[in-house]
Structure 1
Amino acid sequence: MKKIGVLTSGGDSPGMNAAIRAVVRKAIYHNLEVYGVYGGYLGLINGNIKKLELGSVGDIIHRGGTMLYSARCEEFKTKEGQLKGVEQLKKHGIDGLVVIGGDGSYRGAKALTELGFPCVGVPGTIDNDIPGTEHTIGFDTALNTVIDAIDKIRDTASSHERTFVVEVMGRNAGDIALWAGLAGGAEAIVIPEENYDINEIADRLKRSHERGKRHSIIIVAEGVCRGEELSKQITEATGFATWVTVLGHVQRGGSPSAFDRVLASRLGARAVELLIEGKGGRAVGIRKNQVVDYDFDEVFSNEHTLDLELCKLSKELSI
C-alpha cells in the first residue's frame, strides 16, 4: 500500500472535513501518498483526482461540509460505471480507497472491493442510521443545531401562546427527532420507528392547556409526514392555532461539534490503518467509545435500530 484515495459521497455532514484531514495526515505520517477524489463517485468516474499534501487539509477541521465536494451518481450504480472508477484509480496508481458517507456510499465501496479494489467506509451522515456504529459523523452537530432552533422557537411559541410543529430531517430514521425532542422538552415526538396516534397527542396538548400551559412543541421526522400535514391534524383535533417550522438543510451545515471532530479523527485514522493492514470491504464505527471495524455485509444485513426507551422516557417527562 503506497497510495490511497479518499472521497466523500451522498449528503454532506459536519465533520467530514475533520475525517478527510485525519485520513490525509495519518497516511502521510505512515509515508503514504494521498489523493483526493473530488465530487464523489461522479468525480471518480471522471478522473477528478488530485494529490493532497499536509497543507491541503490545513485549517479545515472546524469547517462544515466537505472540501472534496459530493454528488449523486446513478452511473456508478452500474457495473460499467464501477469499472470506470477502478480504471481511474489504477491510472493514478491508487492502491486503496477511504469512502466517507452513508448507506449508498458504502454500497459503492463494497462494489469496488468486490472488483478487487480495497475500500474502507467511514460513517458520515447526520441521520445516525448506519448499523454497527452507535454514532455517525455529523449527528451530534445536527442535533445541537436542532436543539438551538427549538429553544428559540419556544421563545416565540410562549410569547404568542401557540403550538409549534418542528419538522426535522430523518427520512427513515428518527434519531434526530427523538434526541432533539427529548433534549428540547417537546410535548410529542413523531418518528418513523413508532406509529403515532393523533388523538393521544391531542389529549396531551389539551391536558397541558388545562393546567395553564399556553405553548407546546411537537417534533416530527420528515420521513413520517410533512410538518404542515401534522399541523393540520393537530388543529382539527384540538382547535389550537398551530404554526410550522421546517428546519431543512440548515441541519447539515455549521462548524462540527468537538464530539464530531474527535469522532471523525478517530474513525478516519483507523480507516487508513485498515488499508495499511491490507483489509478492504470494512466499515469503521464506534461502540462503547471504542473504535471498531466490521464487514460491509453487517451493514446491509442489519437494520438501524432506535433506542425506544428514549421514546418512553420522553412521554413520561412530557406529561
Structure 2
Amino acid sequence: MNRLAVLTSGGDAPGMNAVIRAVVRKAVYHECEVWGVYRGYSGLINDDMVQMDLGSVGDIIHRGGTILYSARSEEFMTDAGQDKACDNLKRRGIEGVIVIGGDGTFRGSEKLAERGIRTIGVPGTIDNDIPGTDFTIGFDTAVNTVIHAIDKIRDTATSHERTYIIEVMGRDAGDIALWAGLAGGAESILIPEASFEIEELVERLERGRKRGKKHSIIIVAEGIASGVTIGEKIKERTGLETRVTVLGHLQRGGSPSALDRVLASQMGAMAVDLLLAGETRKMVGIRSNRLVGINMSEALSQNSELDMDMYHLAGILAI
C-alpha cells in the first residue's frame, strides 16, 4: 500500500489526536503517503482532504478533540453518498482508510469495505461501549474528569450537609458512571444496565443519615434517568435538600490522560501495520493488556458488557 487516509467521526474523544499522530508518523516511517480527511464521512463525499506529513501532527498529542474535525453525514447513509466517497478515494489512489470513532463510525467503514476500500477501525469513544476491547480511547480521560468533579462537589456537599446528584454521560452504557462512582466513593450509582427503585435509593440515604452521615453523592448515567428528576423524587420522599450537577460535554474535552495517549499511540500504529499487511475490516482492540486485531463483524454483532461484579462491589463499599 502506497497511500492511505485517516478520519475521525462521531463524538470527539480525548486521544483522537494522538491516534492521528501515530497513524501519520508510522505510515511515513514506512514510506506510505497519508491523507487526512476533514469532518469524517462528509469529507470523503466532499473530497475535503489534505496530504499530511510529520509536521502536520506536531504538538497535538496533548490536545483534546480532533484536528480533523468531526461531523455527521446524512448523505453518507445513502448508496449514492457511499459511492461518491469511494470514487473520491479511488481517484486519489487511496487504497485504505483508518477510521477513528465508535459504533456508527465502524458501520460506515463497512460500507467502504464493501466497495473495495480496505478499512481498519480504532475505537475512540468516551463511553467504552465497543465490544471486543477492554478500553476505548478517551474513556480514561472522561472518567478522570468526572472524578475531579466529584472531589470538588464533595467538598461543598460536606460543608453544607447536602445530597448532591451528578449526572454523567452514558446513554446506553454505564461505564463512566460506574468507574467514576467507585473511584469517587459515591454512595449510589445509577446505570442503564441495572434497574433501580427510588425507595431503595431513599433507604440507602436514610441508613447513612442514621449512622451520622451528613452528605451523599449520587452518580446518575443519563441513560437511566435525569439527575433533576431523581433529585425531585428524593426531596419529595425525604425532604432532603438536593443539588444537581449535569457535567454534559465537559466530559468529552480536555487534555488526554497518559493512559489514553499511550493507548492511542499503540492502536494508531497497529492500525497502520494491519493495513500494510493487507488486512481489512478489522478493529484494533486491547484485551488483557495486549493489542489485538478483531474482525469488524465481531465488534458490530455483539453487545458491550458492563462489569457487574464491579457494580456490586461499589454497592458494598458504599454501605
Q: Does 1:223 align with 2:223?
A: yes
Q: How does 1:206-285 map to 2 (within 5 A)?
A: 206-285=206-285
Spell out, residue by residue over 1:32-64, the C-alpha distance to the aligned partner (whole angstroms, 9 max, x if none): 000000111111110100000000000000000
SS at match of 1:278: coil
In the alignment, which residue of structure 2 is the partner of 1:191? 191
- TM-score normalised by L of structure 2: 0.99
Alpha carbons 1:198, 1:237 under 8 Å: kept? no
> Structure 2: how far apart are the matches of 1:92 and 1:231?
55
C-alpha distance in structure 2 between counterparts of 1:198 and 1:175, whole Å: 21
Matching residue's letter, 1:122: V
Q: Distance in 2 between matches of 1:261 and 1:229?
A: 37
Match of 2:125 in 1: 125
1:9-158 mapped onto 2 (5 Å cutoff): 9-158=9-158
Cα deviation, 1:89-113, whole Å, max 9, x if unaligned, reads 1122111000000000000001110
**Bigger Cα displacement from structure 2, 283-292 vs 85-94:** 85-94
2: CA distance, partners of 1:76 / 1:231: 41
Instruction: String of CA shifts for 1:157-196, please: whole Å, max 9, x gaps.
Output: 1111110110000010000000000000001000000001
1:42·1:76 contact (CA, 8 Å) conserved in 2? yes
Matches of 2:151 and 2:232 in 1, distance apart?
23
Pairwise CA distance, 1:6 = 0.1
User: Per-residue CA shift, 1:232-287, capped at 9, x if unaligned?
Assistant: 12112222111100001010010000000000001000100111011111111000
**Aligned with 2:300: secondary structure?**
helix
Residue number in structure 2 paired with 1:166: 166
Mapped contact 1:145–1:251 kept (Cα < 8 A): yes
State the distance in 2 between where 1:77 and 1:188 align.
40
User: What stretches of structure 1 of length at least 5 have no aligned partner?
Assistant: none
Aligned residue for 1:100, secondary structure, equals strand
2:53 is aligned with what amino acid? E
Q: Distance in 1 between matches of 2:238 and 2:175?
A: 27
Tell me which moved more, 222-231 or 136-145: 222-231
Q: Structure 2 CA distance, aligned partners of 1:74 and 1:216?
A: 44
How far did 1:2 drift? 0.2
Which secondary structure state, in structure 1, belongs to the residue aligned with residue 5 of structure 2? Answer: strand
Q: Which runs of 5+ in 2 are unaligned?
A: none
- Is it true that 1:294 corresponds to 2:294 in the alignment? yes
Output the CA distance in 2 between the equivalents of 1:57 and 1:246. 34
What are the Cα deviations for residues 195-215 of structure 1, in whole angstroms up to 9, with x where unaligned?
Answer: 011111101100111111111
Structure 2 equivalent of residue 7 of structure 1: 7
Normalization by structure 1: what TM-score? 0.99
**Amino acid across the alignment from 2:58:** G
My pick for the range that moved more, 194-203 or 127-136, is: 194-203
CA distance in 1, matches of 2:162, 2:74: 44
CA offsets 1:115-136 (integer angstroms, 9 cap, x no match): 1111100000000000000000
Divergent runs of 4+, >6 A? none
The CA RMSD over aligned residues, in Å, is 0.7
